[in-house]
């Protein structure tokens, strides 16, 4: 933060930063598994693309950010880590309201790896509720710029807890399934995969599922998915850097398939974690 490596407890942000006051920020999260970043280049592409489209300027180039991220992980000592890079609008030294006059800030941190689903949920599948909440429209906030506009997702999550579920899916502006708090969603029907196309963050784990499907010869399509359709799927899973590919076995009152982790979900989960050792998909961290 501001050119220094600090313990997490000392990493503090000004309350005047527009990242905090206006959610005027973009970020990305990549994970490290067994001492290797997974698909770091794709995360950097998405992050740097968002920074550019928000008309922010970073004090570092791509190579410098890469070495900062590696240093954060190496200094933290975490072999499996959740690593964020953030660019905030910052604030204006003259208190101008013009965002062009703000001094943008770069922050990165590494904390222990965390997952949307815990071990038990990964074994038996998550219980998900579909909330009536509509995800912020892409016409308002471009979801391909990874952002902290989460009030819809948090409301969806609170609704899901009220309904006795463990996490939520929210809708797009046309009433189709969109995504959940920190994840994309896939269904499998008769051996073919589908994931929502509209109003969602193009997740790197989602992209990875498409890449794995090409390798093993499965069809995967980004398209509209209805509320009823997802409950009638043979298998459902969610995808996130925070946990990878995670099975869903109940949506609202509907049991998905036979109520257990399905064979395609299991195959993709195995392949996904095996790819974490593959030098073509991962980057090593040099620990001191
Ligand atoms: N959708 C939202 C809103 C997210 O915040 C995230 C990740 O944080 C995802 C989807 C999954 O994206 P990825 O697979 O790149 O982690």
Q: Is the residue at 285 inside a domain? A: no
Ligand 1 midpoint to CA 93 (Å): 33
pTM of the model: 0.97
Task: Find the domain containing 56 and state its range.
Answer: 8-112
Average pLDDT over residues 267-271: 98
Q: How many domains does the chain have?
A: 2
Q: Is the residue at 255 inside a domain? A: yes
Q: Does 173 share its domain with 74? A: no
Q: Which residue's CA is minimally distant from atom 5 of ligand 1?
A: 182
Q: Is the residue at 234 inside a domain? A: yes
Rounded CA gap, 210 and 221, in Å? 8
Rounded CA gap, 215 and 149, in Å? 34
220 forms beta bridges with 193
- Pair of tokens at residue 27: 């970020």
Does 2 score more than 90 pLDDT?
A: no
Q: Does 239 share its domain with 129? A: yes
Ligand 1 midpoint to CA 28 (Å): 9
Ligand 1 midpoint to CA 126 (Å): 17
Rounded CA gap, 25 and 285, in Å? 27
Average pLDDT over residues 98-104: 96
At 53, is the pLDDT very low, low, confident or very high (cuts 50, 70, 90)? very high
Average pLDDT over residues 57-65: 97
Q: Is residue 201 within 8 Å of residue 43, measured between CB atoms? A: no
Does 76 score more than 90 pLDDT?
A: yes
Q: Which atom of ligand 1 is nearest to the CA of 204?
A: 15
């Amino acid at each position: 933060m501001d050119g220094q490596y600090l313990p997490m407890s000392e990493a503090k942000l000004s309350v005047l930063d527009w990242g905090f006051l206006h959610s005027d920020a973009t970020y990305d999260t990549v994970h490290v598994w067994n001492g290797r970043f997974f698909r770091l280049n794709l995360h950097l592409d998405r992050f740097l693309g968002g920074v550019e489209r928000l008309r922010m300027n970073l004090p570092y180039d791509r190579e410098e950010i890469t070495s900062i991220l590696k240093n954060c992980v190496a200094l933290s000592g975490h072999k499996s880590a959740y690593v964020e890079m953030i660019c905030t609008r910052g604030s204006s030294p003259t208190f101008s309201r013009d965002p062009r006059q703000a001094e943008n800030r770069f922050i990165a941190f590494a904390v222990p790896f965390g997952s949307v689903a815990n071990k038990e949920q990964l074994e038996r599948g998550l219980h998900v509720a579909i909330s009536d909440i509509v995800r912020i429209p892409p016409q308002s906030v471009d979801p391909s710029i990874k952002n902290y506009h989460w009030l819809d997702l948090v409301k969806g999550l609170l609704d899901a807890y009220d309904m006795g579920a463990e996490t939520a899916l929210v809708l797009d502006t046309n009433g189709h399934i969109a995504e959940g708090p920190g994840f994309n969603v896939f269904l499998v029907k008769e051996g073919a995969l589908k994931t929502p196309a509209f109003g969602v963050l193009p997740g790197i784990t989602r992209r990875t599922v498409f890449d794995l499907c090409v390798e093993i010869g499965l069809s995967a399509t980004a398209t509209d998915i209805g509320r009823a359709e997802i409950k009638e799927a043979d298998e459902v899973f969610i995808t996130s850097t925070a946990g990878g590919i995670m099975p869903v076995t109940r949506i609202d009152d509907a049991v998905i398939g036979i109520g257990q982790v399905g064979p395609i979900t299991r195959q993709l989960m195995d392949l996904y974690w095996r790819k974490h050792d593959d030098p073509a998909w991962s980057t090593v961290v040099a620990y001191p």
